[in-house]
Structure 1
Amino acid sequence: MTFLVKICGLRDVATLDAALAAGAGMVGFVHFARSPRHLELADAARLVARARARGQAQSVVLAVDPDDATVARIVEEVKPDWLQLHGAETPERVAAIQAAHDVGLIKAIGVAGPEDVTRALTYDAADLLLLDARPPRDATRPGGNGVAFDWALAGDGRLPPFLLSGGLHPDNVADAIAGLAGQASLAGVDVSSGVENAPGVKDTALVGAFIRAAVGAACQRPSMKEPVA
């Protein structure tokens, strides 16, 4: 099994290339106007094509409550491997997108308590979940806020495969992975603001440090023999 390390919110060639060189297994691009990491679809398409040409990482486009036309444009024009739904999409909406498009679906779930983990179980149409911290009340966006949740909640044995996100950075990602050593459903980790030196500005040294720390911790997991970022 391959352990995934996802670097999200990439915005330019230099930081994309740095993430790929460091061994990222997933690279993410945000299409959400209120985010400091927002990309127009044409720009996202160029970066996705560059990542695909390198052949070592899966590409993800993040959208928040996209309508049918936006989903179709992402799938047809950008051609990512995955579409990440990071809004208030219902299980029914996720199932409808899954039925209409040939793209992997990641559904992000904001977590603050065990009831949110139970809610995550209703999204069985998603190919992969992403457990993130529920945003603060005054937040203007649903993710990328640098907030952590109680990672012990992600130890629920009922969960399907998921990525752990929310408040991760190079200094705590190994502890987060080690704390979920017994959770076989942990498929990888996701970071955005935790490898930035300003909102939307990735620090390539932090990107490399995060990937090294995550892969090192993944190597110690009982289910992993030769994990790859």
Structure 2
Amino acid sequence: MAVKVKICGVRTPAIIEAAAAEGAHYVGLVLFERSPRHVEVEEARVLAAVARGKIGTVAVLVDPDDALIEGVAERVRPDLIQLHGSGTPERVTAIKTRTGLPVMKAIPVAEASDVVQAEAYAGIADYILFDAKAAPDAMRPGGFGESFDWALLRDAKPPFALSGGLNPDNVAAAVRVTGASLVDVSSGVESEAGMKDARLVRSFVQAAKAAASASRAKAS
């Protein structure tokens, strides 16, 4: 089983280089002011230019308006847009049409009924990202280092991505339990909020790759 790796909330060229050198597939650029990992559109443009040709870029947005969508598509030119928030299937379709880019839709999960929400985006979102549901009074939808019961995904239809509380120590188990096609980490590779640690990034990618290799060996 091939497993892709995304390092989210990247803010420096050095971490982009570290992720690319280790063989990660994507870096996430968070354009949401309430996040400690927030970058402005111009900062995201510069970082995406550093990444281009080395590693894919994902623009991470929360209920974006059309002006932000257009600015990101035209200036940052990401490979993928990741949407958090209340976006309906119709809104996801509109964003795909407007940008011509694939879209990953985040589905916040705390209980089994939450997973069912993904069905509404089947054939619309290019990827579903199952993420830990934030508290009702949280100022942002994720990035708190909290996980959820991975067993809730036992009936989820692949391919899908997994996020929420992942780190170098548990990503192998996450891959084994869920069968996720992509694992997405943010706070789990940080020395402090918003500050990625290159050593932890390398450890995470290596652990995810090792888990994928073990799965392939077992299947054969």
Q: Same fold (TM over 0.5)?
A: yes
Q: Distance in 2 between matches of 1:48 and 1:60?
A: 9
Check 1:127–1:202 CA distance in 2 against 1; reply closer, same or farther (3 A cut). same
- What letter is aligned with 2:146? V
Give the structure 1 partner of residue 194 of structure 2: 200
Question: Is contact 2:108–2:114 with CA below 8 Å preserved after alignment?
Answer: yes
Q: Aligned-pair distance for 1:99? A: 2.1
Which segments of structure 1 move beyond 3 Å, counting only runs of 4 or more?
Answer: 222-225
Contact 1:59 1:82 in 2 (8 A): yes
For residues 186 and 45 of structure 2, the distance between their equivalents in structure 1, rounded to whole angstroms, comes to 19
Unaligned runs of 5+ in 1: none
Instruction: Give the number of the structure whose residues are more often helix, by fraction.
Output: 2
Alignment of 1:28-177 (within 5 A): 28-52=28-52, 55-124=53-122, 125-157=124-156, 159-177=157-175
Query: SS state of the match for residue 215, structure 2?
Result: coil
Identity of aligned residues (%): 50
TM-score by length of 1: 0.90
Contact 2:130–2:160 (CA<8 Å) still a contact in 1?
A: yes
Which consecutive unaligned segments of at least 5 residues does structure 2 have?
none
Give the Å deviation of 1:197: 1.2
SS of structure 1 residue aligned to 2:113? helix
Q: Is the 8 A contact 1:4 1:188 kept in 2?
A: yes
TM-score w.r.t. the length of structure 2 is: 0.94
Contact 2:3/2:208 (8 A) holds in 1 = no
Match of 1:14 in 2: 14
Distance 1:122 1:224, change over 3 A: farther
The alpha-carbon deviation at position 34 of structure 1 amounts to 0.4
Deviations 1:47-84 (A, max 9, x none): 111111xx242110101000111111111110000010
- Alignment check: 8 A CA contact 1:105 1:127 kept: yes
Is 1:20–1:56's contact at 8 Å kept on the other side of the alignment?
yes
CA contact (8 A) 2:29 2:44 kept: yes
